[in-house]
Structure 1
């Protein structure tokens, strides 16, 4: 179990959260947190609900199922239309605690087929985000993931694309008119930039087209196969995929194209589609055909692209980010 204080590896607390620096620890499902009761007792589900809007959250029952029974590193078999399939996932939740109470969480899934780690959610309670704690927590989790999955090649995650022109217009308006309440759509666009910025500072790269240096769009299938098939298209979302190789891993730039295809397949077929279809293989054959065709279309569209890995933010993005920060508007990400 990782213990963090001012004096040890993370060195992130300076006493500003109380009279004395508070020791922090990280507990991990199936390593320190072994059952539903102990998981719930950490308060991590309440923290998850507080940190993420309802549209981004999975149900507590699904989270518990993935973490404690389904995604536990065992091969799972199922059949769709007479075709035998299998997948092997290992999901872990890292819980950062202060005096036993959850103040941060990280939810990751390791796909044994690709040896990639997918970052589902990372968050830390707002009052604890100072002094570099969020960054230190993330780094500690990655080190622990490397120990848990020594064959992993790196971490992949989705970020919502931001509209650079829209963010610039919002920022310019605020610079001229002064601080004001932001509309939900404005908060959404600024939040997207801030999230990309945070992962950019952690050293992530984005998969992009080398000719335009614009990130490649990756379309996610609808997450609810129980909906009528006519509604699946409305539930699709576009994302950019960001990548961070494992420390010491070979340079990925020369193989960015195959890496892009492997990442998209890992997220949307091995992790998403297979786990959803395996719950009802006979009833969800149509969803399987839909989801795999959508992923195939994404990959087909990128075949004409010279796939490149690059930092996500360009100089004009960084200048825009500086202008936003000067406004001193506290916006959660």
Structure 2
């Protein structure tokens, strides 16, 4: 399974360097070996706390729980099961140093692959490495899961009016420093743009062609239930079909329902509740009700798949690039 990426540049390097990709449960088999790669440290460096899962949960999912076997549990007397396969792809440079990661989960119930996290160390961005790494991971996923129909992921919504106001102020004043909330808003546009380049589409309301919002349940079921709503996040769901996959036969509305259920029930809720079925019954009711509410609100919506960046958003992106402000995403 090990793959090599040749001819890639590190920032400031004069010669191209060779990198390799290793995969959990194919090249990295146990917890000690996984932790020794430094991938969890890179994960913490790249993603803010509110977007990160517990390192212990990640280790458990990758190496013991989500290993392609059906897991069964009972909530309130109701028998349930799920079957997931999670993999971490680790991009290594010289001396085995980790410079990139990709965390994906395959849901056997839907044949969907969920992209949890992808990231590249700041010093290694540029030169097309991120795109090459991502495409190589997807090719490896296709080999691991030949029945998959495509990849779905979450992106944080960007407010185009807010983005436009930020850019206009930067153009007018010439300032180079952005406030934290301004950086966050621009990063949302840049992240959506990156997946746009990878030919992802976003689920939209056909009437307005605006992306549909999907609420993610709180990722931490341990606090009192009164605090769960504070941990919810709104996302747009993006989709990239596998070439020649049967998903082409699905209507966008069917795919929207399948994607939301796979991400938030099969992958998120079941994984968290299975760890403590008796103690997390209330969390199960909360999470499934939240997903049901999202699907009910969009039940009569004519759902379409469209490119994430329309002409207006693309124009904003061009204006941002002309400012030449370095802002890693």
Same fold judged by TM-score > 0.5? yes
Report deviation, 1:48: 1.1
Task: Indicate if the aligned counterparts of 2:149 and 2:246 stay in contact, CA closer than 8 A.
Answer: no
Task: Indicate if the aligned counterparts of 2:11 and 2:124 stay in contact, CA closer than 8 A.
Answer: no
Equivalent runs, 1:185-196 vs 2, <5 Å:
185-196=181-192
Query: Moved runs in structure 1, 4+ residues, more than 6 A?
Result: none
Report deviation, 1:250: 4.3
Equivalent runs, 1:116-155 vs 2, <5 Å:
116-155=112-151
Equivalent runs, 1:308-327 vs 2, <5 Å:
308-327=304-323
Q: Distance in 2 between matches of 1:202 and 1:211?
A: 25
Equivalent runs, 1:16-165 vs 2, <5 Å:
18=13, 20-99=15-94, 100-165=96-161
Task: Indicate if the aligned counterparts of 1:109 and 1:118 stay in contact, CA closer than 8 A.
Answer: yes
Task: Indicate if the aligned counterparts of 1:253 and 1:309 stay in contact, CA closer than 8 A.
Answer: no
Question: What residue in structure 2 maps to residue 9 of structure 1?
Answer: none
Equivalent runs, 1:207-222 vs 2, <5 Å:
207-222=203-218
Distance 1:240 1:254, change over 3 A: same
- The CA deviation string for residues 89-145 of structure 1, in whole angstroms up to 9 with x for no partner, is 111000011111111000000111101000000000111111111000000000000
Q: Distance in 2 between matches of 1:279 and 1:254?
A: 33
Distance 1:61 1:85, change over 3 A: same
**Do residues 202 (structure 1) and 203 (structure 2) align?**
no
Q: Distance in 2 between matches of 1:16 and 1:259?
A: 40
Q: Distance in 2 between matches of 1:167 and 1:233?
A: 27
Q: Distance in 2 between matches of 1:85 and 1:303?
A: 25
Report deviation, 1:227: 1.4
Report deviation, 1:180: 3.1
**Do residues 4 (structure 1) and 5 (structure 2) align?**
yes
Task: Indicate if the aligned counterparts of 2:53 and 2:219 stay in contact, CA closer than 8 A.
Answer: no
SS in 2 for 1:90: strand
Task: Indicate if the aligned counterparts of 1:179 and 1:327 stay in contact, CA closer than 8 A.
Answer: no
Task: Indicate if the aligned counterparts of 2:11 and 2:125 stay in contact, CA closer than 8 A.
Answer: no
Q: Distance in 1 between matches of 2:276 and 2:183?
A: 38
SS in 2 for 1:252: helix
Compare 52-61 and 156-165 and name the one that shifted more. Answer: 52-61
Q: Distance in 1 between matches of 2:280 and 2:173?
A: 52
Report deviation, 1:20: 4.0
SS in 2 for 1:323: helix
Task: Indicate if the aligned counterparts of 1:225 and 1:276 stay in contact, CA closer than 8 A.
Answer: yes
**Do residues 181 (structure 1) and 177 (structure 2) align?**
yes
Q: Distance in 2 between matches of 1:174 and 1:205?
A: 30
Distance 1:325 1:80, change over 3 A: same
**Do residues 281 (structure 1) and 277 (structure 2) align?**
yes
Unaligned runs of 5+ in 1: 7-11
**Normalized against structure 2, the TM-score is what?**
0.96
Q: Distance in 1 between matches of 2:11 and 2:297?
A: 51
Task: Indicate if the aligned counterparts of 1:80 and 1:281 stay in contact, CA closer than 8 A.
Answer: yes
Equivalent runs, 1:231-246 vs 2, <5 Å:
231-246=227-242
Task: Indicate if the aligned counterparts of 2:4 and 2:21 stay in contact, CA closer than 8 A.
Answer: yes
Report deviation, 1:51: 1.0
Distance 1:245 1:254, change over 3 A: same
